Structure 1
């Protein structure tokens, strides 16, 4: 159920982009030029909602089924009308000589805005646009279908409110601003989890600069059984919005530990203490509790060698971080290093060879999205394919 204070994936029906938003009372959200207030979704299950006058209303399932049946019958009748290649070519030539879109469409922008303001649904508006387009009848079957889908996507008044998953969160952040997550694509994230052997009961060290995306994926796979130690610079962890976006319950969050990397390097535990003269009694108590928790965590990390190590870094040199954390890795344990640049991984590759690590691999993956439609399956013309590089290895003990 959708409740106040949780994170929800918001996507316009037929849209290409999604947003991960934290829902609050009277909160207004804008997604692909569609604006609405979220209060109408509280207490409702995740799913499809209609937007009426800026408010959310759960979609009518029976009406949707009837619309889908009508659309399927229409597509079947269109598919029955075959066109020869020569006829299609002549129509394409005629399309090039047609007037601009503004002249071909009888409905003005003001009229369209007025119809939408009067409460006309998307399907009814698209039908009006089809009727008002003077060149629609001269188009090919594929061109007609493309025109209808494009107009339906542009004037859609429905949104999907989805429960966040690691794939949706990763895709949303990658499409919005890939540099914030070090250009980590969803396929490379799955490779990182696979090479690190993430499973229930594992103890793992993670140092990342991907907004908490890697830690969130690890916690999602562990499901509260294991130990995920999230290393960070400074006295407090940096922002990890991807982890918070998945709405993990208390069981899962109890397996997540945050530890300053400087504490991991100090043999006698944390040494740096902030100036406590200007702190309140409550702040001092919280600071003391955090220090005690860090010391207990250090005892566990030092006593039990970690089962895996993941480094996913943008601005920190991976080889330096690897040298800091390598001693805490158990023999025969895997390590995975991700970087948007290849040169830092080459330095790590050389250092691992000197340490006697085995099965060292440097991987560069390729990923493309495809449009899958009848007789129109091909890679998408416009897409981001930027990614990074992955270095994997297995630690072994040096011969005596």
Structure 2
């Protein structure tokens, strides 16, 4: 058991990884393949260098990743604390001390306190001539230092020493300069297993429109409103690249069912779900169902009108293009040079597994699910409600998310006509606070766009309520 756990904790080919630079602003989620060259926020390294190493903190030297042990980090902290010749540590301490003293002077400190400040403060750094070089170190010098293995702290210290305008900056500007240079030249990064928080952050900061502007706090709100928990049966329509689907499947914990309604022959455009790399037990709750089967009211077979794969004439080539895209047939060439297509038995088995899962999903929809979640970006939620709402059992929860308000208002009015109860249409505010000495304020560069949430509970229509009451009276 320990050996299996140790193998799972090592990075290998084919797994999804989450890369986050230390002091970086973005998270990159990618699949590790052989000979992969990775570039992220001025970090460049060979993907093969992380294979066989444990997840965690890495240092990049000459485009090679080397894991950092806790003992080395502690040793560096001790050396920086005990060494008085470490220029960057001294500068940082000096700047922080000056920040506090400058704040006291702004609030009305005496001239003696101002004179005691250890850092000279000027109104700005614009007194240098335009043609005068502000930095003694050139780009070639910086690259040479990095190539020689100079650490980030040593490099930032040399940049501070070589900056002629550093002493003319304000204390706050000096602090920002150190932070900016440390962030730019940092050679350390975290390589972790993808989580919902990391995946959500990656897509939200890179292109929020692809996940319908869904923030991580609103994702948690969806799970809370829908009452997702262990052994729950959920029907889901997802247009957020599988982010909501991944959250629901993870919350179910291997017990329950998540019926994923999708267009086309297979569930596509769900990279967030695939990035989680769920094991067999967790992924067994995922039941993809074609929306065409819901519209037809029964399970539809896949197209079995296949050509003679060994003949491969030109007029039949278009009929197997879809099978080639679905990896169910493999293109090849016969001895005479004519193309032919070999059936991929593994792909056919996957197709049969999809049919079996789809059958279970359709049966669950007919019995009635516990919750319905609609996370839409371009599809009208009312069109989904018209198909799935009548199949829900009484007391089921309905949660609809969308980046625009108008479609949710239409869905609200539709649910009112269907006698839904406990309806809520909410918007959630979310701001990140920058907490620094005397500079605590909301993050001004934060991307605050989000969406809207509509929740409701399906109630028994009044005529059925009367019939049930009459049955109880007759029974008495």
TM-score by length of 1: 0.92
Corresponding position of 2:145: 115
Counterparts of residues 360-375 of structure 1 (less than 5 Å): 360-375=423-438
Counterparts of residues 64-103 of structure 1 (less than 5 Å): 64-68=73-77, 70=80, 74=90, 78-81=95-98, 82-83=101-102, 84-85=105-106, 91=121, 93-99=123-129, 103=133
- Out of 360, 378, 382, the position equivalent to 1:319 is 382
**Cα distance change of structure 1 residues 286 and 25 upon mapping to structure 2, 3 Å threshold:** closer
Counterparts of residues 354-393 of structure 1 (less than 5 Å): 354-393=417-456
Corresponding position of 1:302: 366
**Cα distance change of structure 1 residues 102 and 286 upon mapping to structure 2, 3 Å threshold:** farther
Distance 1:369 1:292 in 2: 45
**Alignment partner of 2:383: what SS?**
helix
- How far residue 144 of structure 1 moved from its aligned partner, in angstroms, is 2.3
Question: More deviation in 373-382 or 207-216?
Answer: 373-382
- How far residue 368 of structure 1 moved from its aligned partner, in angstroms, is 1.7
**Cα distance change of structure 1 residues 94 and 142 upon mapping to structure 2, 3 Å threshold:** closer
Corresponding position of 2:64: 55
Corresponding position of 2:209: 179
- How far residue 275 of structure 1 moved from its aligned partner, in angstroms, is 3.8
- How far residue 44 of structure 1 moved from its aligned partner, in angstroms, is 2.1
Distance 1:183 1:105 in 2: 41
**Alignment partner of 1:373: what SS?**
coil
Corresponding position of 1:37: 46
**Alignment partner of 1:257: what SS?**
strand
State the structure with more CA Rg. 2
**Deviating 4+ runs (over 6 angstroms):** none
Counterparts of residues 146-295 of structure 1 (less than 5 Å): 146-270=176-300, 273=303, 275-277=305-307, 282=345, 287=351, 290-295=354-359
TM-score by length of 2: 0.78
**Cα distance change of structure 1 residues 15 and 250 upon mapping to structure 2, 3 Å threshold:** same
**Cα distance change of structure 1 residues 187 and 99 upon mapping to structure 2, 3 Å threshold:** farther
Q: Unaligned regions of 5+ residues in structure 1, if any?
A: none
After superposition, what is the alpha-carbon deviation per residue over 1:16-70, rounded to whole angstroms, capped at 9, x for unaligned?
1110011122211100121101222222221111111111011243332244453
**Cα distance change of structure 1 residues 189 and 284 upon mapping to structure 2, 3 Å threshold:** closer
- How far residue 338 of structure 1 moved from its aligned partner, in angstroms, is 0.6
**Alignment partner of 1:94: what SS?**
coil
Distance 1:187 1:130 in 2: 39
Q: RMSD over aligned Cα, in angstroms? A: 2.5
Q: Is the 8 A contact 2:123 2:169 kept in 1?
A: no
**Alignment partner of 1:360: what SS?**
strand
- How far residue 185 of structure 1 moved from its aligned partner, in angstroms, is 1.1
After superposition, what is the alpha-carbon deviation per residue over 1:75-95, rounded to whole angstroms, capped at 9, x for unaligned?
55654452322869x935233
Question: How many residues matched?
Answer: 399
Distance 1:263 1:100 in 2: 70
Corresponding position of 2:31: 22
**Cα distance change of structure 1 residues 94 and 141 upon mapping to structure 2, 3 Å threshold:** closer
Distance 1:255 1:101 in 2: 66
Distance 1:15 1:167 in 2: 16
Distance 1:158 1:285 in 2: 44
After superposition, what is the alpha-carbon deviation per residue over 1:231-275, rounded to whole angstroms, capped at 9, x for unaligned?
101221122110111121111001111000121233333267464
Question: More deviation in 64-73 or 226-235?
Answer: 64-73
- How far residue 108 of structure 1 moved from its aligned partner, in angstroms, is 1.5
**Alignment partner of 2:437: what SS?**
coil
Q: Unaligned regions of 5+ residues in structure 2, if any?
A: 1-8, 83-88, 109-113, 308-318, 321-341, 464-476
Distance 2:93 2:156 in 1: 19
Q: Is the 8 A contact 2:96 2:175 kept in 1?
A: no
Q: Is the 8 A contact 2:122 2:168 kept in 1?
A: no
